[in-house]
Amino acid sequence: KAGVTQTPRYLIKTRGQQVTLSCSPISGHRSVSWYQQTPGQGLQFLFEYFSETQRNKGNFPGRFSGRQFSNSRSEMNVSTLELGDSALYLCASSLSASVNEQFFGPGTRLTVL
Amino acid sequence: AQRVTQPEKLLSVFKGAPVELKCNYSYSGSPELFWYVQYSRQRLQLLLRHISRESIKGFTADLNKGETSFHLKKPFAQEEDSAMYYCALSPGDDKIIFGKGTRLHILP
């Protein structure tokens, strides 16, 4: 089985721009979670989708949004980028509930200049 | 508030010595607890979960509800154990909260 894939792997944007990141879960997995990883804050939960519905959301501003498609692929969007949004964004998929074993993707490294 | 605390950012241990990575949590109910590991240049992956009560790669973790701890232990460290370790908690609402991680460095 192919693992979780994320595109693009690296991205450089400037302040004020918006960005869309993509995540393809393992085939058959219906839950997709997104995390922001930074050296200072570690891994912080952004949101989780299951069957195209957002089930949980972390404490991030409304500039961070996401969606899930019928094939379970998910996208994450960040609008009006700030310097502090520079981070590694990780996507994880699991069969059903996110408390099951999560399989992580390689991440998208976003740099905001 | 739900919180996971890993008090050590870096832990250096000699090969063959015992390892203990500390994890304390804050949650009033019965959480589900996990340890995830990230080896150099590899993806984050699940190491073990308390509900399984298993030993993976020689590591075990016992949930101590009285001390609200879930420390990760291994009796004899190996060089390949060098990695970043994250303790995580799920309060049961399909959300997972991670600690900030401890980098384990095994000295030869």
Interchain CB contacts (distance < 8 Å): A and B: 52
All residues of chain A having their beta carbon less than 8 Å from the beta carbon of residue B7 are none
Contact (CB<8Å) B95/A104: no
Q: Does residue A21 contact residue A6 with C-beta atoms inside 8 Å?
A: yes
Number of other CB atoms surrounding residue A73 within 10 Å: 16
Above 90 in pLDDT, residue A41? no
Distance from C-alpha of A62 to C-alpha of B27, rounded to nearest angstrom: 26
pLDDT at A18 > cutoff 90: yes
Q: Identify which of B34, B12, B17, B13 has the alpha carbon closest to the alpha carbon of residue B25.
A: B34
The predicted structure's pLDDT at residue A1: 66
Q: Residues of A at the B interface (Cβ-Cβ below 8 Å)?
A: 3-4, 31, 33, 35, 41-45, 48, 50, 55-56, 58, 90, 92, 97-99, 101-106
User: Average of pLDDT values for B41-58?
Assistant: 87
Q: Do A31 and B98 touch (CB under 8 A)?
A: no
Residue A69: pLDDT above 90? Answer: yes
Question: Rounded mean pLDDT of A81-92?
Answer: 96
Which letter does DSSP use for residue B17 in this model?
S
In B, minimum Cα distance to A6 occurs at: B43
Q: What is the distance between the alpha carbons of residues A29 and A47, in angstroms, rounded to a whole number? A: 16
* Mutate which: A99, A101, A109, vs B, most B CBs within 10 A: A99
Q: What mean pLDDT is predicted for residues A42-65?
A: 92
C-alpha distance from residue B82 to each of A86, B26, B66, B97 (Å): 26, 27, 30, 23
Contact B90 A56 (CB under 8 A): no
Burial class (CB in 10 A: 0-12, 13-18, 19+), B29: exposed
Residues in chain B with CB shorter than 8 Å from the CB of A42 are: 86, 98-101
Minimal Cβ distance to A45: which of B44, B46, B97: B97
For residue A95, pLDDT beyond 90: no
Note whether B43 contacts A105, CB cutoff 8 Å.
yes
